[in-house]
Structure 1
Amino acid sequence: MVTTGGRSGGTTTKSRGDVAEERALQFLQDQGLRLVCRNYRLAGGPHARGAEVDLIVADRDGTLVFVEVRSRADGRAGGAAASVSGLKQRRIVRAAQHYLMRLRTPPPCRFDVIAIDGDQLEWLRGAFDAG
């Protein structure tokens, strides 16, 4: 969907999301994390709908981190962090479980959120769990 006019300047939602993901990745790399995979998603089937992880990164201690990146123009209506609903969390967990099944020995893992509200970036480590 292409937006026109207003503050978006004709950019798409996807392009704004790509910019937010790139900013989040750069931030995480600056913190010493290493990119493993970008935009991991399940393909096909009724259980795959919306099951995607924006970034998978490795922390310095070997923990595999599944990162959801959310961006909002400002912090109104709870801001970016509040937009990670229970349904969205379950979809991320489902994609993460699928990813981990591919590994011979899965490492410890956690679920983080990078919330970007306007110019403010907040890193929520262990924002939710798989349970």
Structure 2
Amino acid sequence: MDRATTGKISFLKGQAAEGQVAQAYERNGFEIVDRRWKSKEGEIDLVARHKGKLYFIEVKASKTFETAVQQITPRQQKRIHNCALQYLAEKTGHLDVDCRFDAALVDSAGRIKILPGALLAA
């Protein structure tokens, strides 16, 4: 399989995983307010709101939960946090907002594992 095809498959798997995770959060009473929000700092897969709190969610899909979580590097966490700061500045007008950074892992069987607060402030 060539690189373009592999990239397309990975992109589609990522989109499907994000959709599954969004539905899981919605089933638990969360409102998804943004998907794939982009800034010059990077991208946030999902932004959700629940009871006045914002949730920045990084979705990773892989064969196992272990390999998925290993894909979230310290460098990537820093980019996500910087992107979240930009999101807060643009969307809310201030940075004093109650928020949490979650990792949402999806394995090859389609199971979802949410790691609340897994992405620590940089």
Q: TM-score range by the shorter chain?
A: 0.7 to 0.9
More helix by share: 2
| TM-score relative to the length of structure 2 | 0.86
The residue number in structure 2 matching 1:88 is: 76
SS at match of 1:39: strand
User: Equivalent of 1:63, from 38, 53, 58?
Assistant: 53
- For residues 41 and 129 of structure 1, what CA distance do their matches in structure 2 show? 20
SS at match of 2:11: helix
Q: Deviations over 1:46-85 (max 9, x none)?
A: xx3xx110000002x211000000000x228x32122111
| TM-score relative to the length of structure 1 | 0.81
SS at match of 1:128: coil
Using CA pairs below 8 Å that are at least 6 residues apart, which structure has the higher relative contact order? 2
What 5-or-longer segments of structure 2 have no aligned partner?
none
The residue number in structure 2 matching 1:6 is: none
The residue number in structure 1 matching 2:9 is: 12
CA radius of gyration, larger in = 1
- Indicate yes or no: 2:121 matched with 1:130: yes
User: Equivalent of 2:29, from 32, 35, 48?
Assistant: 32
How many residues end up aligned between the 2 structures? Answer: 116
Q: CA RMSD in A?
A: 1.8
User: Equivalent of 1:107, from 79, 97, 115?
Assistant: 97
- For residues 81 and 58 of structure 1, what CA distance do their matches in structure 2 show? 23
**Runs of at least 4 residues of structure 1 off by over 2 A?**
104-107
